[in-house]
Structure 1
């Protein structure tokens, strides 16, 4: 476990595991979650990898500065974290808002990133009116106002029916997210449109979608993959917005295959 000091007083919390000198894979989590959402996936990856998981600002054990946040803040946080760890040429794995951060980081700091895995995400997620309504609901009713709607969007019907413990764990992580952090990151997503910068990317990319994702439908993820020449698209059936949580074995297999194809294992 490591804590990374920042010049402006912000300290990001991160966990590093695996081989100290191996090829690097970095993981960025979803809105209302934390780095533990990757636990089951990283446990199934090749042992020669250096694995870094980060809590973004306002989430997990990272500090929660007052909002609003801009996507540039979150991308900058990730870049400074990797700089302090001496990371170059990583494969950056991001889900949902983490996938937006991945796209922004690749556009701004290509020295840090040699490959992308963008899961359940898009160059632009939602519309200003959708986010305005959600932000208003959270400001008035707290995170509890969106908890159950999120569970419906995040998990497949089978998982909700057969694995309530998985849903309960995600519900608890969401409820534990600081209100200011959740609102700040919602505002960052609402103001972000990366279509032009993502369309300029030229690096190996794998896009992963869940067949029952109610937050970033598979067609939206596929559309984003289509912006990047040569990007691969993989659908994980029977999952919603969090395939690494619902089907970590399958997610890890697709990730490992991608890493092998680009010579990163």
Structure 2
């Protein structure tokens, strides 16, 4: 394992971590809005046996820099490319969740020579509405993160998981409360403007679209629409899982991604 801070060509400092053998094929994992690279901890223990797992805190998140907003999906995509460049990665498999999934989709559209296979988890080509994201950004800038934590947790996790008191709940809540308000709000601005629906059909990389059936933020209807416009895509629903499916059902999620990236399945033969 190695951790370091890299600086993008735009001058943004990004906290990165790499796990796994240096000679292994690379896998880039991109975090969701309001979380950081530790949100992949449950997966990395397994993935790092097969891949060199490259993670980073997206700008405005975790230990990365917080430039003034608004941010754009183009900037977030360029940040991902800067992380690959800093780690001497020409091509990688990519796994992104929620906002990270939008970034992964951006990479598949705008930098197809840099990606092999792509996992699009609990995400969509258009997430939410511009009005909703602008409203949330305004609330956070005016009142701070505490004003939206309960709302976000309710959209992140299924009711059953919230009632379980699982450690992941407390960890995500603590991360949200310590998040930088401007970094969070500026990322909401990126989601407000991001709309990749018109270019999804350009993606040539094999994709896995995975979604929890209890995902309120990017529900299965959004995921099915995304899959329908991809040229080459598997689609799997995780029964009962909420928006952060990798935290609610870590074993199943890890297996699905491992099987997809390892091509140990026939097309359309993945199941939760």
TM-score of the superposed pair, with normalisation by structure 1? 0.95
Give the distance between the partners of 1:230 and 1:108, measured in 2 at CA.
Answer: 17
What SS does the corresponding residue of 1:59 show, helix, strand or coil?
coil
- Report the Cα offset of residue 42 of structure 1: 1.1
What SS does the corresponding residue of 1:174 show, helix, strand or coil?
helix
- Report the Cα offset of residue 164 of structure 1: 4.3
Spell out, residue by residue over 1:89-108, the C-alpha distance to the aligned partner (whole angstroms, 9 max, x if none).
21110001100100111111
- Match among 105, 108, 113 for residue 107 of structure 2: 105
**Count of residue pairs the alignment pairs up:** 263
**Structure 1 segment 24-103 matched on structure 2, within 5 A:** 24-45=26-47, 47-103=49-105
What SS does the corresponding residue of 2:17 show, helix, strand or coil?
strand
1:259 maps onto 2:254 in alignment: no
- The equivalent residue for 2:269 is none
1:173 maps onto 2:175 in alignment: yes
Spell out structure 1 runs of 4+ moving beyond 6 A: none
Query: 1:83/1:262 Cα in 2 relative to 1: closer, same or farther (>3 Å)?
Result: farther
Give the distance between the partners of 2:131 and 2:36, measured in 1 at CA.
Answer: 26
- Report the Cα offset of residue 57 of structure 1: 0.3
CA RMSD of aligned residues (A): 1.4
Give the distance between the partners of 1:81 and 1:187, measured in 2 at CA.
Answer: 22
- The equivalent residue for 1:156 is 158
Give the distance between the partners of 1:97 and 1:6, measured in 2 at CA.
Answer: 19
- Report the Cα offset of residue 58 of structure 1: 0.5
- Report the Cα offset of residue 133 of structure 1: 2.2
Greater shift, 42-51 or 233-242, is seen at 42-51
Greater shift, 221-230 or 183-192, is seen at 221-230
- Match among 13, 19, 22 for residue 21 of structure 2: 19
Q: Residues 73 and 194 of structure 2 are in contact (CA less than 8 Å); yes or no, is this contact kept in structure 1?
A: yes
Q: Residues 204 and 262 of structure 1 are in contact (CA less than 8 Å); yes or no, is this contact kept in structure 2?
A: no
- The equivalent residue for 2:270 is none
Q: Residues 35 and 53 of structure 1 are in contact (CA less than 8 Å); yes or no, is this contact kept in structure 2?
A: yes
- Report the Cα offset of residue 46 of structure 1: 5.8
- Report the Cα offset of residue 211 of structure 1: 1.1
Give the distance between the partners of 1:129 and 1:47, measured in 2 at CA.
Answer: 43
Q: Residues 211 and 220 of structure 2 are in contact (CA less than 8 Å); yes or no, is this contact kept in structure 1?
A: yes
- Report the Cα offset of residue 135 of structure 1: 2.0
Spell out, residue by residue over 1:197-246, the C-alpha distance to the aligned partner (whole angstroms, 9 max, x if none).
22211111001101111111111112112111121111111211101111
What SS does the corresponding residue of 2:214 show, helix, strand or coil?
coil
Q: Residues 21 and 48 of structure 2 are in contact (CA less than 8 Å); yes or no, is this contact kept in structure 1?
A: no
Q: Residues 27 and 93 of structure 1 are in contact (CA less than 8 Å); yes or no, is this contact kept in structure 2?
A: yes
TM-score of the superposed pair, with normalisation by structure 2? 0.93
- Match among 136, 142, 146 for residue 134 of structure 1: 136
Q: Residues 46 and 256 of structure 1 are in contact (CA less than 8 Å); yes or no, is this contact kept in structure 2?
A: no
- The equivalent residue for 2:233 is 231
Greater shift, 98-107 or 3-12, is seen at 3-12
Greater shift, 215-224 or 160-169, is seen at 160-169
Query: Which consecutive unaligned segments of at least 5 residues does structure 2 have?
Result: 266-272
Give the distance between the partners of 1:141 and 1:165, measured in 2 at CA.
Answer: 27
What SS does the corresponding residue of 1:111 show, helix, strand or coil?
helix
Give the distance between the partners of 2:215 and 2:80, measured in 1 at CA.
Answer: 26
